[in-house]
Structure 1
Amino acid sequence: MGIRLSGMASGMDTEKMIKDLMKAQREPVNRLQRSKYSVEWKRDAYRDMNTLFADLQTTMKNLRMSSTFNKKTAISDNDSIASAKVVGNPTLSSYSVEVVSLAKASTPARAEFQTSVTNSKDAIGGPDFTITIKKDTNGDGTMEEVPLTFSGATDSIESIVNKINSSKSGVKASFFDKKLVITSEDGKEFDIVTTTNNLNLDANKIYTAGTTGDPARFKINGVEYTSSTNSFSFDGIDFTLKQSNLNSPITVGTKTDEDAIFNTVKDFVDKYNAVIETINKKISETKYKGYQPLLDEEKEALSEKTAEKMETMARSGILLRDPILTNGLYELRRALSTSVQVDTNKSLSLSQMGIGGPPSGKNAYQENGKLYINETKLRESIRNNGDDVLKLFTNYSNASTNAEKYNASGVAERLFGQLNKIMDKVTKEAGSVGSGYDDSSLGKKLKQTDDDIERWEDRLKIIEDRYWKQFTAMEKAMSKAQSQGSWFAQMLGQK
């Protein structure tokens, strides 16, 4: 950059004049920058829509699986005898349950030591001592010894408990109500030998051998079984036995879990309605032609509130009548409204199950495809025609033609596929968040705009330098003319 002379001879504000001249020259760059903002807004709006579609598709996954519509609940006619909960897929509708006897838990071998200690943190006092734990850890009759040494001056009941518990000797210790209790971890027999100590542990030892437990005995549909505990799983049902009812069997029945299925369908309908409402707003949003993206210097010249309002108006209608969303919305509606041909003579529809359009009326058209649930009718369908509800949503077809496959596919299967197609189109147009490489149409357009802006910035720098050279040359010429004029005036004055 050469020397710039700013109005030294002419008295003009050269810098302001060049800045004003450059404003006109920068207009192509400003147009490109505004265009870039518009493209970025459209890209972001598309990506927001794809997030909604993906969320709806996640909701659809459960509706595509038959297990969703095969959910059952178990009901015991006497919960005080045995309760039941479905955790799998029961094969029968009812089970006769007779509890012969409840399980009795085993008790592990234990050694109890009565002490006079009231504070477990106080030092025991007296001489140092050893506690030796003898245990058949391998189950072969060989007693292994684990000696643990303690200091009477510093160790307390608390430290004795901690050292025993960390010794890996197969026993665990606890202290409560002045009583030190050592219990076998695996139920096997053990022995405790101590040397002389202030606690007088040997004299106060009470040893109790472990006892074996008894299994629960019960009959299901007349067949006797045993279980090590009173809770067990049988044919997809978790049973919990509570008391004996010998010779007085109770019935545990299974039925369709109406609430779970209804709530799953309702969640889908709510999510679908929210998505299409958002789509309808976007494709019908008003476009304000007099508003365009603000440049940074324009924002700085306005108040924050005014700039925010103007930008909101400029963003409005960015997806007005967008063909991808408009066509996608049509396909989503068609996927739900077309009957499912489950066999040659039978077809099923959402309206048959209690899911239809808005109530009739002069404003019904404004709902734009929103679904409504007739709760009574849907619950009756789930309760009495569960197999039809299942087929309506999950039916799968491997027909040879696309048309036949479409007509025979369940509405959840269709909708899932249509959402895939819409999201693919949006991704092709706008790319996706977090993608390392953006090969989308709008991504390419943004890159081209950035390249154009960069070329224009280089060109503007050359133009600005030219203006400065011209004004600088003018200033030099004027300065020279002024110097010559002064010389002539001086010479004339001397004469």
Structure 2
Amino acid sequence: MGIRISGMASGMDTEKIIKDLMKAQREPVNRLQRSKYTVEWKRDAYREMNTLLADLQNSMKNLRLSSSFNKKVATSENDSIASARVVGSPALSSYTVEVINPAVAAKPATASFTSTLPNTTTKIDEEFRITLKKDSSAEATVIDVKSEDTIESIINKINSSNAGIKASYFNDQFVLTSDDGSDFSIGTTAPEGNKLGIEAVDVEKKGGTLASFMINGVLYKSDTNTFTFDGIEISLKQSNEGAPITIHTKTDVDSIFNTVKDFVDKYNAVIETINKKISEPKYKGYQPLLDEEKEALNDKTAEKMENMARSGILLRDPILTSGLTELRRALSTPLQVDGVNKAFDTLSEIGIGGPPNGKYAYQENGKLYIDETKLREAIRNNGDDVMKLFTNYSSEKTDLGKKYQESGLAERLYGELNKIMDKVTKEAGSSGTIYDDSSLGKKLKQTDEDIQRWEDRLKIIENRYWKQFTAMEKAMSKAQSQGSWFAQMLGQQ
């Protein structure tokens, strides 16, 4: 860089002069930097819109499934006899249930012995062996009881072993229970009348009884009182032999209505946000602030000016504008396929339409409104038609126009959202990706390269200014030295 002399001879503030000169030279860089900020803002705004669209698409997954519209609820005429709830897809609208006898659960193999020890921490003062065996083929587990053992330590020895038998103690009763309910045997070398009260014994589980019941006149048995029959979980409570009750199934109107309403609410929120973004005003005269400009302003003013500069970054954006048009078309085009009920081939016919007629209806920009009574009635009385309207799948491969007409509204909308997001991704890329091949990504890369070239050029220009001013200072310093010498010589004459 060389030696820089700043105003030693001239008395000028060379550094400030050069800085001012460089401000004019930096203007092309400043324009590039402002352009970079604008592109980054546009990229980020696009990505925010894509996040909203992806969120809407994810919320629509259930709306494309027929199972979301086949939901039913079950009600029993008498819950004290048998209760019911839907866990699958019942085929019938009613089922008669007659409980001959409920199931009685088998009791696990358990042995109880009365201890004479005052508490669980008193030493037993006896030595003997307890042998535990689950079945004839299993290896026996031996528990050695020492005189210093207590009920507490004996329980710990048994429970930490691999015998498959658990010990407990309550109200002077020392209890051994099979952990899986199966039979087991107890052997012991303890003398009769030992303080633990244990003795050799074969322990058997007490068998229960199967539930016996009739559904729609057919006899069934079950080892439990709760079981699933044709998509309905039925719980038997008590016998009603000779007096069958009926379990009714019907469309779960509330669940289906809420599924549709959640979609409409989400759709409205997303298109409202996007509509605001593409109609946001653009303020002329406001441009991105450079770092030094921000530092010269207080935070509140800088934030306000930057928000004004950001406003309208996606004003009338063609991708989003045309995308919203396609979303509205997907929802308003009638479903046209063999077997469709013409009375339920559009959203408006099931109670979902545009805003009520009025002075400001045009400002809603595609927002959907629900006529709750009409929608609930359609779900209740024409559930299959409502399901087809949303979920119908077209197998058409070549004729895309026909495929569009035959596809349910949720299918269409899902596909249109894919198209919009693909266009936005192509334009602005995706956050988190290592390589950004989008249009704006390439533009940012080119701008960075241009800025770097200009920065290199500005260093050369700045060095040239310094060389020129340094040369001037040296020349003036030399002239001043010569002038002083001449003045000195004239003074001596």
2:266 aligned counterpart, secondary structure: helix
Aligned pair in 2 of structure 1 residues 296, 158: CA closer, same or farther (>3 Å)? farther
1:287–1:318 contact (8 Å) kept in structure 2: yes
Aligned pair in 2 of structure 1 residues 376, 119: CA closer, same or farther (>3 Å)? farther
Aligned pair in 2 of structure 1 residues 178, 4: CA closer, same or farther (>3 Å)? farther
Determine the structure 1 residue equivalent to 2:332.
337
| Equivalent AA in structure 2 for residue 36 of structure 1 | K
Determine the structure 1 residue equivalent to 2:479.
481
> Quick one: distance in 2 between partners of 1:52 and 1:354?
26
**What is the deviation of 1:357?**
0.7
* 1:148 aligns with one of 143, 146, 149: 143
**What is the deviation of 1:176?**
3.3
Verify: 1:288 aligned to 2:283, yes or no: yes
Q: Deviations over 1:349-399 (max 9, x none)?
A: 111100011111111111111100000000000011111101111112234
1:285–1:317 contact (8 Å) kept in structure 2: yes
Q: How does 1:242-391 map to 2 (within 5 A)?
A: 242-343=237-338, 346-347=341-342, 348-391=345-388
2:88 aligned counterpart, secondary structure: coil
> Quick one: distance in 2 between partners of 1:235 and 1:113?
47
**What is the deviation of 1:209?**
3.5
Verify: 1:201 aligned to 2:196, yes or no: yes
Aligned pair in 2 of structure 1 residues 20, 118: CA closer, same or farther (>3 Å)? farther
1:127–1:198 contact (8 Å) kept in structure 2: no
RMSD: 2.1
Normalized against structure 2, the TM-score is what? 0.94
Determine the structure 1 residue equivalent to 2:90.
90
**What is the deviation of 1:205?**
8.9
| Equivalent AA in structure 2 for residue 295 of structure 1 | L
| Equivalent AA in structure 1 for residue 474 of structure 2 | K
**What is the deviation of 1:407?**
1.6
Aligned pair in 2 of structure 1 residues 117, 345: CA closer, same or farther (>3 Å)? closer
Determine the structure 1 residue equivalent to 2:174.
180
Q: How does 1:439-454 map to 2 (within 5 A)?
A: 439-454=437-452
Aligned pair in 2 of structure 1 residues 299, 403: CA closer, same or farther (>3 Å)? same
> Quick one: distance in 1 between partners of 2:191 and 2:334?
89
* 1:392 aligns with one of 372, 386, 389: 389
**What is the deviation of 1:199?**
7.5
Q: Deviations over 1:436-478 (max 9, x none)?
A: 2110000000101111111111111111111111111111111
**What is the deviation of 1:315?**
0.8
> Quick one: distance in 1 between partners of 2:464 and 2:333?
69
> Quick one: distance in 1 between partners of 2:192 and 2:281?
91
> Quick one: distance in 2 between partners of 1:466 and 1:491?
37
| Equivalent AA in structure 2 for residue 96 of structure 1 | T
Number of equivalences: 489
The alignment-based identity, stated in percent, is 69
2:185–2:203 contact (8 Å) kept in structure 1: no
Determine the structure 2 residue equivalent to 1:27.
27
2:124–2:150 contact (8 Å) kept in structure 1: no
* 1:231 aligns with one of 211, 216, 226: 226
**What is the deviation of 1:118?**
7.0
Greater shift after overlay, 311-320 or 205-214? 205-214
Q: How does 1:126-165 map to 2 (within 5 A)?
A: 127=125, 129=127, 131-137=129-135, 141-142=136-137, 144-149=139-144, 152-153=147-148, 156-165=150-159
Aligned pair in 2 of structure 1 residues 181, 445: CA closer, same or farther (>3 Å)? same
1:6–1:472 contact (8 Å) kept in structure 2: yes
Q: Deviations over 1:165-211 (max 9, x none)?
A: 22111101223344332201232122152647998113589986321
Aligned pair in 2 of structure 1 residues 126, 112: CA closer, same or farther (>3 Å)? closer
Aligned pair in 2 of structure 1 residues 150, 473: CA closer, same or farther (>3 Å)? farther
Aligned pair in 2 of structure 1 residues 257, 131: CA closer, same or farther (>3 Å)? farther
**What is the deviation of 1:429?**
0.3
**What is the deviation of 1:346?**
4.8
Aligned pair in 2 of structure 1 residues 296, 198: CA closer, same or farther (>3 Å)? farther
Determine the structure 2 residue equivalent to 1:37.
37
| Equivalent AA in structure 2 for residue 10 of structure 1 | S
Gaps of 5+ in 2: none
Determine the structure 1 residue equivalent to 2:17.
17
2:169 aligned counterpart, secondary structure: strand
1:84 aligned counterpart, secondary structure: strand
Aligned pair in 2 of structure 1 residues 345, 306: CA closer, same or farther (>3 Å)? closer
Aligned pair in 2 of structure 1 residues 481, 269: CA closer, same or farther (>3 Å)? same
Determine the structure 1 residue equivalent to 2:160.
166
**What is the deviation of 1:142?**
4.4
Determine the structure 2 residue equivalent to 1:409.
407
Aligned pair in 2 of structure 1 residues 251, 300: CA closer, same or farther (>3 Å)? same
Gaps of 5+ in 1: none
| Equivalent AA in structure 2 for residue 238 of structure 1 | E
**What is the deviation of 1:289?**
1.1
| Equivalent AA in structure 2 for residue 368 of structure 1 | N
| Equivalent AA in structure 1 for residue 388 of structure 2 | K
Normalized against structure 1, the TM-score is what? 0.94
Greater shift after overlay, 474-483 or 205-214? 205-214
Aligned pair in 2 of structure 1 residues 179, 126: CA closer, same or farther (>3 Å)? closer
